[in-house]
């Protein structure tokens, strides 16, 4: 493990957040080192991408590689929520580039390799163990090759925690606050031979996907109020299908002594439209995964010598497929703040604060959209309103339409009515 002794920035984690942050910083002329504890391509969930991701990839210069890979273009979304069907197509909101269904192992690998090409020193199979903060020149990161015994130290001006749900620095500093309003779990797996829904609501065999683009299909799960839902995302060789449920479901599976495979398969086949899509499909053995209690935020997003980005900064229920875009947004915003701090070290705290405010308002808007019982009127509401205030007319229309897809986020409409649209030129 020949990690350097010093550099400008250490990025922990090579998911979309880490790879893009390291790319932006390397392109800005800084020596960036990225530590990834796994070897890419690595398994990760979250395959539905809304088209906003293109602008972050354009800035990183990786869009051509993504376009050339031939990921499935999706037409939009169809949602069955307690018997009512609603649809959404991104082209109705001014988007000219497609939303995608991506195999995340492949997509994330492309981003990581691009970071390497852009001059980032990437070390795979190397896990960060933590960082000492408040030491010159900013932080000292301890790391170790996976399976190895020797630790190494890298002195850097800033450490960026992009370690996803592991949240290495967030946990070390005790910044992670579980989202008590969101005690969820998720179980998902991959089917072969599933049909899919096109924008007109008709079912098609997987082979038609290039000619008749699929939608991301979401349905509510009966008996769980507005909390439980299920996704169906057609990929090139398989279909990702998963359930998001209140945490109590986990107990019922354990008590019932059934396997997660049986549970997922039975629940999904019992949902009317999903059952029809899966009629001739098989759940791929060994493909089922479970995650619990994954919603949290951080009480602090940046401080002397550190920035938290992507899922390491916080995570909300993935119903509106904003996780990857939020990760990319935070990577861009953090890279900007770090660059500014390096240019004007005396103003580092100011740039940490700007980053914190920007990300907080985006995360809060995501919470307002995704939380069935979001507390309108709380201090956090002001943060969500700020994000809306800076959204252009198309983005506002999309937020409104998304809030009408389920019965979860009707309060967002009230928030929007209460938030004036920007008067000047569009803000990002
Ligand atoms: C059930 C579910 C469904 C989802 N569906 C969607 C969806 O459809 N669309 C969408 O946009 N988002 C979705 N998401 C969210 C999305 O997957 C995440 O928001 C996204 O992966 C965040 O990217 P990241 O780079 O922050 O973290 P990650 O992609 O998790 O990457 C973190 C990386 O850090 C590495 N790492 C961890 N610890 C260490 C360490 N100690 N040292 C070095 N490296 C380390 C990991 O190996 C990993 O590669 C979903 C999430 C879940 C849980």
pLDDT (0 to 100) of residue 287: 97
When pLDDT is averaged across residues 235-247 and rounded to a whole number, the result is 95
For residue 226, give the 3-state DSSP assignment: coil
pLDDT of residue 426 exceeding 90? no
- Confidence at 428, pLDDT banded by 50, 70, 90: very low
Report whether residue 128 contacts ligand 1, using a CB cutoff of 6 Å: yes
pLDDT at 214 over 90: yes
pTM: predicted TM-score of the whole model, two decimal places: 0.95
Span 277-287, mean pLDDT? 97
pLDDT per residue as tens digits for the range 288-302: 999 987 678 899 999
Helix (H) or strand (E) holding 277: helix 272-277
**Using an 8 Å Cβ cutoff, are 206 and 194 in contact?**
yes
Dist. CA 371 → ligand 1 center (Å): 20
- The residue-averaged pLDDT of 216-237 equals 94
Nearest 10 degrees: Cα torsion 99, 165, 227, 409: -60
Q: What is the mean pLDDT of the chain?
A: 91
Query: Is the pLDDT assigned to residue 350 strictly greater than 50?
Result: yes
Closest residue to atom 20 of ligand 1, CA basis: 324
Task: Say what the pLDDT of residue 343 is.
Answer: 97
| 127 Cβ closer than 6 Å to some ligand 1 atom | yes
Q: Enumerate the domain spans of the chain.
A: 9-47+103-178+295-360, 184-292, 380-428
CB atoms within 10 A of CB 304: 13
Paired strand residues for 86: 79
Domain 184-292 top-level CATH class: alpha beta
Cα(186)–Cα(318) distance, rounded to whole angstroms?
10
Distance 306 CA to ligand 1 centre (A): 19
- Confidence band (pLDDT; 50, 70, 90) for 74? very high
- CB of residue 301 inside a 6 A radius of ligand 1: no
State the distance from the centre of ligand 1 to the C-alpha of 215, rounded, in angstroms. Answer: 22
Query: pLDDT confidence of 139, banded at 50, 70, 90?
Result: very high
**CATH architecture group of domain 9-47+103-178+295-360:** 3-Layer(bba) Sandwich (3.50)
């Amino acid at each position: 493990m020949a990690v350097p002794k010093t550099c400008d920035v250490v990025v922990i984690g090579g998911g979309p957040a880490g790879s893009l942050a390291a790319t932006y910083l390397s392109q800005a002329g800084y020596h960036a080192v990225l530590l990834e504890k796994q070897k890419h391509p690595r398994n990760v969930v979250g395959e539905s991408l809304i088209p906003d991701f293109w602008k972050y990839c354009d800035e990183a210069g990786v869009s051509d590689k993504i376009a050339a890979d031939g990921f499935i273009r999706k037409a939009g979304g169809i949602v069955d929520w307690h018997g009512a069907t609603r649809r959404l197509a991104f082209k109705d909101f001014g988007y000219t580039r497609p939303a995608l269904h991506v195999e995340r192992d492949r997509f994330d690998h492309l981003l990581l390799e691009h970071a390497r090409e852009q001059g980032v020193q990437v070390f795979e199979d190397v896990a960060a163990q933590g960082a000492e903060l408040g030491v010159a020149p900013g932080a000292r990161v301890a790391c170790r090759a996976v399976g190895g015994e020797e630790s190494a130290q890298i002195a850097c001006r800033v450490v960026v925690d992009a370690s996803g749900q592991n949240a290495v620095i967030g946990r070390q500093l005790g910044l992670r606050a579980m989202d008590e309003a969101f005690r969820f779990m998720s179980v998902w797996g991959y089917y072969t031979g599933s049909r899919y829904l096109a924008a007109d609501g008709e079912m098609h065999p997987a082979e038609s996907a290039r000619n008749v683009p699929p939608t991301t299909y979401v349905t509510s799960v009966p008996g769980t109020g507005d909390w439980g839902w299920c996704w169906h995302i057609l990929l090139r060789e398989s279909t990702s299908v998963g359930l998001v449920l209140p945490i109590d479901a986990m107990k019922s599976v354990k008590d019932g002594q059934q396997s997660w495979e049986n549970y997922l398969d039975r629940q999904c086949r019992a949902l009317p439209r999903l059952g029809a899509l899966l009629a001739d499909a098989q759940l791929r053995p060994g493909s089922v995964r479970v995650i619990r209690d994954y919603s949290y935020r951080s009480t602090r997003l940046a401080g002397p010598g550190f920035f938290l980005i992507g899922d390491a900064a916080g995570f909300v229920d993935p119903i509106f497929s904003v996780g990857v875009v939020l990760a990319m947004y935070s990577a861009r915003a953090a890279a900007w703040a770090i660059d500014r701090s390096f240019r004007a070290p005396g103003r580092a705290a100011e740039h940490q604060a700007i980053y914190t405010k920007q990300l907080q308002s985006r995360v809060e808007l995501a919470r307002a959209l995704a939380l069935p019982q979001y507390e309108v009127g709380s201090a956090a509401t002001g943060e969500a309103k700020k994000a809306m205030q800076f959204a252009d007319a198309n983005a506002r229309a999309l937020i409104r339409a998304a809030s009408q897809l389920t019965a979860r986020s009707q309060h967002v409409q009230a928030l929007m009515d209460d938030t004036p649209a920007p008067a000047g030129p569009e803000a990002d």
